[in-house]
Structure 1
């Protein structure tokens, strides 16, 4: 699955506020950056701020969200499954 997001419009390294605006829009960006971003920053796979560039690497932020949301074939979020595959697996177990 290919998708385009506002993250695609950011520079290679972006500030937390720029990332927040791309993720939740300008209206909620400041609050999200203050309250939600610290939680994400502690999650495995969310990129830290690069001290030399003074921003987070946007391609890694995008990769994090692809994995977190199960987009782009990176992997499904925990607990999410393809219903067809789940039904198929159940049917297979019933036959044995």
Structure 2
């Protein structure tokens, strides 16, 4: 099971709406959408930070707390960031 598959399973288990794109730039992407665009996303492609090692890169101010990306993450790392952001009151779902 890939890290993206693990993240998909974890989001599904928590009933967090998301879109899993299995054909994104030669890799995969999960988007957690809101009504108008998205709250945050995770990618794993040959071009993302950690993608060649099967790791995830995330982007989204609501998740990270700043406008940038963070890479070389596994699914558990992303969910820890999600839980921390939600605890701080950020809109991450």
**What TM-score do the two structures reach when normalised by structure 1?**
0.34
Rg bigger for which structure? 1
Higher helix share: 1
